[in-house]
Amino acid sequence: MRFELDEDQRDFASALESLLAGAGTVAAARAWAEGDHAPGLGLWKRLADLGVTSLATDASSVEVAIAFEAIGRHVVPGPWIESAAFLPVLLGREVEGVATAVVPPHVPLALDADIADQVYVGAAPTTQVGAMRGSVDRTRRLFEVDGADLDQGTPRLREAFDLAVLACSAELLGAGERVLADSVTYVKQRTQFGRPIGSYQAIKHALADVRIALDFARPLVLGVALGDVPVSAAKVAAGDAAYLASRTGLQVHGAIGYTQEFDLSLWLGRIRALVGAWGTASLHRERLLQQLTETGAEVR
């Protein structure tokens, strides 16, 4: 599949990368995990000023994919998928401030509901925020929210959910790319038996497998943005590729990769959480199977 960004999209991607590269996102993510939201909220405002929160209503799905790949690459904290992808489509307008949502049964817990200006059960606002639940990603604070089950059959809800799945897929792709890049850098520097460990064939092959998986996932993510590929295909491929990147990254880093003090841990936790967010791999494989087996099934 051939895909090339236009000039405006390249400029947007460059501006976003320039902002995030110098924004101290790792420090903001660590602070967020410890309950200090000020750095993350400051970053939120800068990204909102750049237009990230209005992409779902004012731009195309391509710009959404560009933005969320950058968010994943720089481990930006906060309920971005909810605020910048899901809710704007569901509500038909840009969301003011920080917002989060639950979408039973596939998104049963509200991300960062403790700091959100608005909490929704689907399109319905609520103030019934309950207890905090644990997450494999320390930067993702999950909360129970009381609310009725949603009718998953409404077209607008399906459209909003699918854009959220695209955003999640792009974020996984960005996180996987970052883990691979950092792993390649590490194996060139780490020596064992007098040689960089990256010179050993086993390490080369493991990292090459990650490169291939990410390269196969990227066209699916971009294909969804163009409307040519079922979004569930992108979620499965991006999830598998990013998870492979995280496993391989952990293996090539050795014992240091297990420590929370090492920055790799932020991406490992984020990937593990996002693989099951906005629909599990089983759900999305089931959606794909249904599309393949039902004549005239809607592509979504």
Going through 99-184 in order, the beta strands assigned E by DSSP cover: 99-102, 110-111, 118-121, 124-125, 129-133, 142-145
Cα–Cα distance for residue pair 171/64, rounded to 1 Å:
10
Cα–Cα distance for residue pair 238/215, rounded to 1 Å:
10
How many angstroms from the chain centroid is the CA of residue 191?
33
- Containing structural domain, residue 175: 155-293
Q: Are 137 and 204 in contact (CB under 8 A)?
A: no
Structural domain includes residue 50: no
* pLDDT over 60 at 295, yes or no: no
Cα–Cα distance for residue pair 93/254, rounded to 1 Å:
47
Tokens of 200: 């050993």
Cα–Cα distance for residue pair 225/219, rounded to 1 Å:
10
Structural domain includes residue 134: no
* pLDDT over 60 at 9, yes or no: yes
* pLDDT over 70 at 1, yes or no: no
Cα–Cα distance for residue pair 270/277, rounded to 1 Å:
10
* pLDDT over 50 at 6, yes or no: yes
- How confident is the model over 10-25, as a mean pLDDT? 97
Structural domain includes residue 178: yes
Cα–Cα distance for residue pair 177/73, rounded to 1 Å:
7
Strand pairing report for 124-125 and 142-145: unpaired
Count of domains observed in the chain: 1
Q: Which CATH number do you get for residue 165?
A: 1.20.140.10
Residue 222: band (very low, low, confident or very high) from pLDDT cuts 50, 70, 90: very high
1-10, 21-30, 66-75, 110-119: least confident range: 1-10
- How confident is the model over 240-252, as a mean pLDDT? 98
Count of alpha carbons within 13 Å of 181, Cβ hemisphere only?
A: 9
* pLDDT over 80 at 244, yes or no: yes
Per-residue pLDDT tens over the stretch 87-113: 999 999 999 999 999 999 899 999 999
- How confident is the model over 168-183, as a mean pLDDT? 99
Mean of the per-residue pLDDT values for the chain?
A: 93
How many angstroms from the chain centroid is the CA of residue 183?
20
Structural domain includes residue 240: yes
- Residue showing tokens 């403790």: 114
* pLDDT over 80 at 194, yes or no: yes
Structural domain includes residue 257: yes
- How confident is the model over 140-150, as a mean pLDDT? 83
Structural domain includes residue 213: yes
137-141, 177-181, 253-257, 264-268: least confident range: 253-257
pLDDT of residue 34: 96
pLDDT of residue 45: 97
